[in-house]
Structure 1
Amino acid sequence: MKRIIVFVILIAAFAVACDDSTHYKISGTITNAEEKYIYLDELKVSSSEAVDSVKIGKNGKFEFDGVVHHPTFFLLKLSEKNFITLLIDSAEQVEVAGDAANFSRDYRVSGSEGSSLVQDLNQQLSETKHKLDSIASLHVMFRTDPNYTELKKKWDKEYSDVVQNQREYSQNFVNAHPFSMANVLALYQKFDNDNFVIQDLQSLKTAASALNSFYPESEHVKALYANTIKLMKDERNAKMQQFIQEQGTNSPEILLPNPDGKEVALSSLQGKYVLLQFWASQDRGSRIMNPVLVELYNKYSRKGFEIYQVSLDQNRYEWVDAIDKDGLKWTNVGDMEGSTKAVSNYNVQELPYNYLLDEEGVIIAKNVKGPALDKLLKELLD
C-alpha cells in the first residue's frame, strides 16, 4: 500500500513539474506607480488581447504568472502610451524595474533573453529615429541660409550614414540570432510607415524558414512565413515582367515532347496568334476550361489562331486519356515531370494559366479566359 501511495505522489510531482515547464512569472518594481494598475496584454499579429491586470503595491511591486508553449510577445502597460514589449518563453522568471514617469523609455529587464533582445532592438531604432529627426530639423531651420546647398549635401550624407548603420545593425542582429522570435520584430521594424529597416528578401526567407522549423504553431511565425511566400511570388512576377520586356520581340522558348514523343518548340508556331496554356489532366479547373478552348479553337483556328498547351502532368496515361476525352486537337506537350522549366520561366502560380502571344511571339495578354478571351480574339482575328 505504501508503494502505491509513493507511486501516486511521484506521478503527481511529475505532473506538477511538467506544468511548471510552461509556467512563466513576470514580477518587478515600478516606482511612483503605487496603487495604480498595470496591465498585461498578449501582442497578436494585428491587435493585442488583454491577459490580466493587477494593482501595484505600496512598495511598487507587482506580479503576473501564466502559461505559454512557445516564445510569446506581451505588452506590459501602465497606460496606452506608456508600455514596454516583452518576449516571454515558458518557465522564464522575468524581473522588470523602472519608473512610471519614463517607463517606456527607460527600464531594466532580466531573466528573459527574448525580452532583453527586444529591448536592444527597440532602443537602437529609437536612437536612430532621434538622430534622423534631428538631421531633418536642420533642413527646416537653415533652409534660407546662404550656405544651405553645401550644408544640405553634408546632412544628406549624415542621414544616409545613420540609415545604413541601422540597416547593418538589424542585419547583423538577424544573422546572430537565427532562431530567436525577436527576429520577427527585427524584420518588421520600420523607419516610417512605408520604409522597412531590413529590405533584403534573402534575410527574410532565411529567418522565416528557421523560425518556422522551431515554432510552427506561433501566430507571428505563421504570418511571417506567409508574408515571405507572398513577397517571393511578387519578386518572381517582377522578374518575369522584366524578362519579358528585355526579350523585346520574343517570349521565353519552350521545347517539349508531344504525346508521340516528338519535341515541338513554341517558336515553331510564330506567324499565328498563340494561346500558351498551362494545365494538368487531374486539375478540375483545367478540365472545365478545356471545352471552352475547344469552342474557341474551332471558331478561330482557320483565322490564324493556335493553342500550345503545356501539361504539368507526371502520368502519361492520364495526360493522353484527357487529351482524347476532351478532344484537344491542338499542340499538346509535356515531359511528364511537371514541365518545371517552362513553369518557372513563365512564373505559373496557378492552374489553368495562359499567355496570349501575337504573330511575332510577343506576349500581349495574360490569363485571359472565357468571354474576355473570345472578345480579344474577335478583335484580333475578325
Structure 2
Amino acid sequence: MKNIFSLLIVCTFISCKENLTNKTKAQQSFNLTGTINGAYSDYIYLNYGNVKDSVKVLNNSFKFNGKVEKPTQGWLNLKPDPDANVAWLYIENSDIIIQADYDKKRHNGKTLNFLEINNVKGSYSAKIQNEYKEFYQANKNKENFKALLYEKLKSFIKINKNHPFSGTILSEIALINPVLTKKELLQLYSKIDTTQQNKSDLEMFKMGIANLDKYGIKKPFLEFSLPNAKNENVDIKSFSGKITLVDFWASWCVPCRIKHPELIKLKEKFLDTNFDIVSVSIDDNKKSWIEAVEKDNLTWTNLIDIDKKVNDELKIQSIPFNYLIDENGIVLGVNLSSIEIERIVSEKASR
C-alpha cells in the first residue's frame, strides 16, 4: 500500500505552485537523475503507469527520461527485481534530482537490496508531500489536531485540486486514518478535480466513507467472536462495561511489534480503571502468533483472526490498526496514537 507520509505549510504553497507549475507547463517531458550513496553498480528500475524502464548505475549515478500526462506516482527499485524494496516518488514533467542511500537488509528471511530516497529537488509533488508531512508530524498530537487538519486541507486542496496527491490524502484519511468526519471528508472531496485523481484512490475513498457509516466514531462496533491460544472463543461483548482498545496486528508486522511497549505502558497506567486491551492477530501461522505474544509480553486478551473475516468486515487495509470503544461498545476513535488513547481514557476516567 502506498504511504503518503509516505503522510502543508500554507504560506509556501502559492509561491511554490506558481514557480513549479509554470515550469511544468513549459516542459513536456521529465529528466530524472539520481545519485546513490553505497556500493551498488547494477540495474535500477523505474515504474510508473504502464511503463517499466531500467538503466545501469554507473559511478553511483543514473538517469531516466520520459513523459507523463499528469503527476504519476511510481517507484524505483534495485535488483533482484521484483524482490527488492520499492522507493515511492511522483514522476512529473520537470528536471527531478534525487539522492538515495543503498543498503542490504534482511526481510522475511531474505537479504534484499534496499533503496531509500532521502532528498528530491525539482519536483513540486515532492515539495507538497514534504510540507504535508511536516505539518502532520508537528501537529498530530495536539488536542485540536482534527480542526487544524481540516482547515489545512481546505487550503491545500484549493491550491492542489488537480494534483493526484490530494486524492491520495483523502483516500487514506477516509479508510486508513479516519480522523475527520464523514461530512468533513465529503466537503473536501467536493473540491478536488476527480478526473485528475487515481481511480484506486477514489475507490478507497468511497470504501472509507461507507465504512464510516458502519463502524465510524459514535457507531456501534462490530460484534465478533474469535479464538484465543487455547482455541476458546471469546466474544467482544464480554468486554461490555469497559473502555476497550481493539488492536489489530501480526507477528510479522515490524511496526506492530514496535508499538507493543506503548500498549504495555497504557495498560499499566490505567490498571486501576475500567480500561482493557484486546489484541487481534491476522497471522495465518498460530505458532508464530503465540511465540510473538509471549516474547512481547502481551498479558491481556489475545485473539487470532486466521480467516481474516473480522479484518475484512472492518476493511482494514494496513496494520497496526485499532478501534477504541466505550463501555457500551460504541466507537470512540479509529486508528488512534497512544497519546490520543491516553487522552481519551484519562478524560473518561476523570468523569
**TM class, shorter-length:** 0.3 to 0.5
Structure of higher CA gyration radius = 1
More helix per residue: 1
Larger RCO: 1 or 2 (CA < 8 Å, sep 6+): 2
